[in-house]
Amino acid sequence: MTTKDSGEWRIIVEHDVPMRTRDGVTLYSDVYRPDAEGTFPVMIIRTPYDKGMQVYADGKTMSRHLIHSRYFPKHGYVVVVQDTRGRWQSGGDFYPYVWDAEDGFDTVEWAASQSWSNGKVAIVGKSYMGLVQYLAAIEKPPHLVAGAPMSAPISYFENCVYRRGVFELGWQLSYIIGLARDIAIRMGGAEGERRLHYLNQFLENPAIRFGKLKMPEFLHLPLRDWIDRLAEDAPYVRDLIDNWKDGAYWHGMDARPRARDVTIPMLHVGSWFDPFLVDTTEMFNRIRAEAPEEVARNQKMLIGPWTHIFGSRIAGQVDFGPEAELDIDELELRWYDHWMKGIDTGLMDEAPVKIFVMGANRWRHEQEWPIARTRYTPLYLGSGGRANSRDGDGRLSFDRPGVQPPDSYIYDPADPVPTCGGTTLLSFGGDAGSCDQAIVEVRQDVLVYTSDTLEKPIEVVGPILMRLFAATSAPDTDFMVKLVDVRPDGSAFNVADGVIRARFREALDQPTMVEPGAIVEYEIDMWSTAHLFQAGHRIRVDVTSSDFPRYDRNPNTGHDFGTDAAEDLARARQTIFHDARFASHIVLPVISD
């Protein structure tokens, strides 16, 4: 036990405090508590990222759980930072998410029984630390009082490892290798050094904890080779790749069907360019619809203009202004002071939904999500048959099209469209957010449809859907769509995006091949946004078939996922229809106050 002085306040720190789970595994925590008499409410941070980590590998950024451990004790909280099962000091075998519901329950009840606890407990944190909040909450630990899950991936198959059947190649491989490197470091000695050296060979910069892979590694085929490549260091990769369809394997790690079991108030926090955005909105809505009324009315949601990194005014290449800056610690303190200390912080007097409108760069307060007065407005694709690239003749119109020829392009998986912004964790923010699409929109395999210059601003707030009528020469392929804001100077910044793998157009658990040449309607969920297209700007929609290395490349063969080698890759002719019968269009959620 040590006592530390942080200027204005002193805290007592106990390292490696053990706790036994119901199945006999010992988990270890560092406990930070005020150096004062009495008992206190407890905040638990359950992390796979090393409870004792002082800084990230760049030597600059203090980890979020260490910031919590210094911030909240001075406000009268005990902070328990625990290594999750199989990670760092804790015992057991690591397998992402599998143990976190029961282990979370056990940790809450253990913390409530300690001499420094007043019996009121919360689990806090974002990303993995947000996920464990949902998983513990649905188990209903009696002493869990409140939660504030931030950017939490709770639909493990549909919006985490895969998105509409498309493998999240870029961040999944980087993340898995980063987790495996942690285990090698923990192991130490000659064996740890051997395994660390082996894993480092895949990375551009091993000094970055969850850095990108080298491009030849992203390009490596067959994808199933990663099962053997990581068999020693991350054996669960086999399960992730073998289970490329939805099914029972994924269901136990999906909190959505049990939203009705949540019994605590929750502040759901997300961001427009975060890969777990849809989980934030869906859990907020499901709990409000399915949980008891006294629980439902105490749910709040806040979504900002950020990537997976919260609170900054910059996301990608766009500065959203000073209003975008948010003190996450202060927000959490207001939330927990209300529910764990009974302090009137004013937060519960605010509207249940607070969202940042990009373009206007201001916050909007609403009573529900989506906003009830939304006008879902179709914006139709059109062209003279040459919409290829931003130099083509693609156009958008609010008028339904008449007779006009389709557009086509060749999708070659050997030459994919490069990732340029979006709701991705690739390099943990380096390629995420809103970015100028110039490097993408000059390509002939990107169809670009642009509206006339707007005479009046259009505010788009809510879920976005693309109805795309398309034919392909392949038995299976992908379609990617982006909503883009074109500024008066011609620069074009992505606002929202969506993707679909053709074989999963009807169901994620029952893939169905397409008939080559047949016209198929694809409903592409582009998730949600809040964006003001200013007068003088133009609205744009880009359509293509790859976004690499964010997503794996569809080889256009129809073979089982991950089995194709480089020599199996096939080109596909994609044809997009936008006439009176097959009127491809994007549905925009337009708000008029």
- DSSP-assigned beta bridge partners for residue 357: 362
Residues in CB range of 119: below 8 A, 6 or more apart: 39, 112, 143
Q: Find the largest Cα–Cα distance for the chain.
A: 79
CA gap 195, 182 in Å, rounded: 10
Catalytic pick among 127, 271, 408, 584: 127
The pLDDT of residue 365 = 98
Residue 308 falls in the annotated catalytic set: yes
The two tokens of residue 503 are 């074989």
ω into residue 549 within 30 of 0, thus cis?
yes
The pLDDT of residue 58 = 40
Contact 218, 169 (CB under 8 A): yes
Closest Cα to residue 371, out of 182, 205, 591, 201?
591
ω into residue 257 within 30 of 0, thus cis?
no
Residues in CB range of 227: below 8 A, 6 or more apart: 237, 238, 241, 242
Contact 382, 417 (CB under 8 A): no
CA gap 577, 583 in Å, rounded: 7
User: Which helix (H) or strand (E) segment is 540 a member of?
Assistant: strand 538-544
Burial class of 93 by CB neighbour count within 10 A (0 to 12, 13 to 18, 19+) = exposed
Q: For the beta carbon of residue 7, count every other beta carbon within 10 angstroms.
A: 6
CA gap 378, 588 in Å, rounded: 6
Q: Distance of CA 445 to CAs 397, 497, 548, Å? A: 22, 17, 13
- DSSP-assigned beta bridge partners for residue 43: 79, 122
Site of tokens 């207001």: 334
Read off φ and ψ for residue 420, nearest 5 degrees. -145, 85
Q: Distance of CA 29 to CAs 44, 80, 488, Å? A: 9, 6, 54
Residue 274 falls in the annotated catalytic set: yes
Closest Cα to residue 199, out of 189, 215, 185?
185
CA gap 177, 59 in Å, rounded: 20
The pLDDT of residue 55 = 36
Helix intervals (H) in 248-292: 248-251, 277-290
CA gap 560, 497 in Å, rounded: 26
DSSP secondary structure, 37-89, as one string = SS-EEEEEEEESS-TT--B-TTSSPBPHHHHHHHHSGGGT-EEEEEEPTTSTT
ω into residue 352 within 30 of 0, thus cis?
no
Residue 559 falls in the annotated catalytic set: no
Burial class of 188 by CB neighbour count within 10 A (0 to 12, 13 to 18, 19+) = exposed
Domains and CATH numbers, the chain: 2-158+250-366 (3.40.50.1820), 166-243 (no CATH), 375-591 (2.60.120.260)
Read off φ and ψ for residue 489, nearest 5 degrees. -85, 0
Residues in CB range of 554: below 8 A, 6 or more apart: 166, 413, 476, 477, 478, 501, 545, 546
Quote the crossing angle between the two packed helices 328-341 and 64-71, to the nearest 10°. 50
CA gap 557, 553 in Å, rounded: 11
Catalytic pick among 103, 233, 246, 274: 274
3-state secondary structure 379-444: EEEECCCCCECCCCCCEEECCCCCCCCCEEEEECCCCCCECCCECCCHHHHCCCEECECHHHHCCC
CA gap 524, 515 in Å, rounded: 19
Contact 296, 303 (CB under 8 A): no
What is the distance between the terminal CA atoms of the chain, rounded to a whole angstrom?
Answer: 58
Rounded (5°) CA angle 149-483-555? 90
Contact 432, 487 (CB under 8 A): no
The pLDDT of residue 9 = 64
Contact 508, 157 (CB under 8 A): yes
CA gap 282, 292 in Å, rounded: 17
From first to last of its 593 residues, the chain has per-residue pLDDT tens of: 555 544 456 899 999 999 999 999 999 999 999 999 999 999 999 999 999 874 333 434 445 556 677 889 999 999 999 999 999 999 999 999 999 999 999 999 999 999 999 999 999 999 999 999 999 999 999 999 999 999 999 999 988 999 999 999 999 999 999 999 999 998 999 999 999 999 999 999 998 888 899 999 999 999 999 999 999 999 999 999 999 999 999 998 899 999 999 999 999 999 999 999 999 999 999 999 999 999 999 999 999 999 998 889 999 999 999 999 999 999 999 999 999 999 999 999 999 999 999 999 999 999 999 999 999 999 999 999 999 999 999 999 999 999 999 999 999 999 999 999 999 987 655 689 999 999 999 999 999 999 999 999 999 999 999 999 999 999 999 999 999 999 999 999 999 999 999 999 999 999 999 999 999 999 999 999 999 999 999 999 999 999 999 999 999 999 999 999 999 999 999 999 999 999 999 999 999 87
Closest Cα to residue 100, out of 143, 61, 137?
137
Catalytic pick among 65, 143, 308, 585: 308
Contact 164, 504 (CB under 8 A): yes
CA gap 130, 151 in Å, rounded: 6
Read off φ and ψ for residue 470, nearest 5 degrees. -145, 155
- DSSP-assigned beta bridge partners for residue 306: none
Contact 557, 492 (CB under 8 A): no
